[in-house]
A and B are shown apart, each in its own frame.
Chain A
Amino acid sequence: MEVVRLRVNGDERVCGVPAHYTLLETLRYGLGLTGSKQGCDKGDCGACTVIVDGRAILSCITPVWEAEGREVRTVEGLANGTETHPVQDEFDLNGAAQCGFCTPGILCSSVALLDRNPSPTREEIRTALAGNLCRCTGYEKIYDAVEAAAARLDP
């Protein structure tokens, strides 16, 4: 076990982990943040997507040490207290989630997009979410939700 110091959703967290842990394993099994999902676990599906220093990355293939000294944001940190993030709100209103397994990763990819580009085109949304697989909703309602959230964030 080694000690890793992370900044997750604004909190300083200290955690004992095996040296070969990924960021995802540390979040889920070290810190109890199980919102980020372990899907394919090899960088294909996007379910483990988190935001590191403003960019969407895959936590399942990120060695935990690469997250030290950087700002990690997970699906648990998107809401402002009890107030949901507009993207989360619009996913609800647009029926953009069914089983919900891919949703945390897609929310993180969407927020990372909107933080960099507050008024993306439909094509830019499609491109930004091209690394997140959803096997039940289909993508149209997800794009609708992100568009609606963008309209609310940057009217």
Chain B
Amino acid sequence: MLRLPPFRYHRPDTVDEAVALLARFGEDAMPIAGGTDLMPNMKHRLFTPAHVVSLNRIAAMRGIGTVNGAGPSTDNGRAPRADGLFLRIGALETLSDVSSHPLVRRHCAGLAEAAGLVAGPQLRNMGTIGGNVCLDTRCTYYNQTEFWRDALGYCLKKDGTVCHVTRVGKKCVAAHSADTPPNLIALDATLTLAGPDGTREIPAADFFVTDGIWNTRRKGDEILTEIRIPLMGPHSNGHGPHRRSAYRKLRQRNSIDFPLLSVAVVGDFEQDGTVAGLTGVVSALGARPRVLAGWDEIALGERLGPRVIEALAERARAQCRPLDNVIVDTKWRRAMVPVQVRRALEELAGG
């Protein structure tokens, strides 16, 4: 039996009310949506907020549809970041709904796949895409009961002064373990955050930082309200590049588990099948998803054949060095990087 610590539960109806509650109670408050990350963490006494602010009644944070312009729907007067057609996903949409939504499946197949591979079915029915983006980092020495952590000696991320992974390091290396962000980064998505000073937008690629203790730029009194993904399908006249995406997830069991390694790829292809743009993002290895470097010089203007895919996979392997932050051999995890990258690219080439 794992009991929750006592707290007061608030259920505001609007983003403004929720932000006001978070600002009022400061570090004593945390927002909750699906609760699939926060509730177990609270049961483990990793967080003990006196006030929990539920976002689930906020209708403005729901819905999936296409919109013009990247600006937030509750605009604070600033001009939209860019024109064009965007897919807007309200942060409260469940991972089940994101993975099965026809627009997401059509325009962002990799994202739909990733949302459908998070944890297990019940957790996808509860967990939201906003919560997935804001997921706390994970580590063998962190996601444990208070009894367990006390017995070993607390770690750097929570209540302790030592990192049990690196032994010597003073930097927390807990891993980013969410499935959707690598896809959102590869898709050039924009996140909208609402806070006491209004809303701000931040590219998904800039949202994460290399700090296992707190790996996002979201402040404690901010709420992720929606996600916008620029759409680039075939032009209406059938010309121009066509965008495809794919996602691969490595884990011990094919359900429930967090990723040991995740690979998101997004490619823009010309009519003749040559690559006009290619982005790969690898995650679950460190505190921040890693955008793979050096792919353009290999792939641009080429077809995604076996030789090019092999070169891209090797370039990925050279950049990825997993740490011992989950109970799986790090050499094996590293060896799986080119394998999973190759499979993702083969899916992209065949799609």
Contact = CB atoms under 8 A, between A and B. Distances in A.
Interface stretch (A71-79, A86-94, A96-104, A126-134): A126-134
A112 B123 CA distance: 14
A92 B8 CA distance: 43
Nearest to A129: B121
Given A19-B7, A57-B126, A58-B123, A42 B54 contact: no
Contact of A131 (B7, B56, B123): B123
A69 B169 CA distance: 49
Interface in B1-36: 1-9, 11, 32, 35-36
A130 B120 contact: yes
Given A49-B122, A109-B121, A65 B54 contact: yes
A131 B11 contact: no
A57 B122 contact: yes
B39 A43 contact: yes
Contact of B121 (A20, A56, A133): A56
Given A38-B1, A63-B32, A63-B54, A131 B39 contact: no
Interface residues of B, number: 31
A56 B2 contact: no
Nearest to A133: B256
B43 interface: yes
A46 to B, nearest CB: 6
A65 B11 contact: yes
Contact of A65 (B9, B119, B120, B125): B9
Nearest to B35: A61
B40 interface: yes
A70 B5 CA distance: 25
B254 interface: yes
Interface in A28-56: 38, 41-44, 46, 49, 55-56
A115 interface: no
A55 B125 contact: yes
Contacts of B121: 56, 109, 127-131
Contacts of A130: 120-121, 254-256
B172 interface: no
Contacts of B104: none
Contacts of B4: 20-22
A18 B126 CA distance: 22
B122 A58 contact: yes
A123 to B, nearest CB: 12
Contacts of B56: 66
Contacts of B8: 19
B35 A131 contact: no
Contacts of B52: 63
B44 A63 contact: no
Contacts of A62: 35, 39, 126
A24 B90 CA distance: 28
9 contacts: A20-B3, A20-B6, A46-B120, A62-B126, A65-B9, A66-B35, A66-B56, A128-B121, A131-B255
Interface of B: 1-9, 11, 32, 35-36, 39-40, 43-44, 52, 54, 56, 96, 119-123, 125-126, 254-256
For the complex of A and B, list the 5 residue pairs with the smallest distance between their C-beta atoms, beginning with the closest: A131-B120, A130-B255, A61-B39, A42-B40, A41-B2
Interface of A: 18-22, 38, 41-44, 46, 49, 55-58, 61-63, 65-66, 109, 127-133
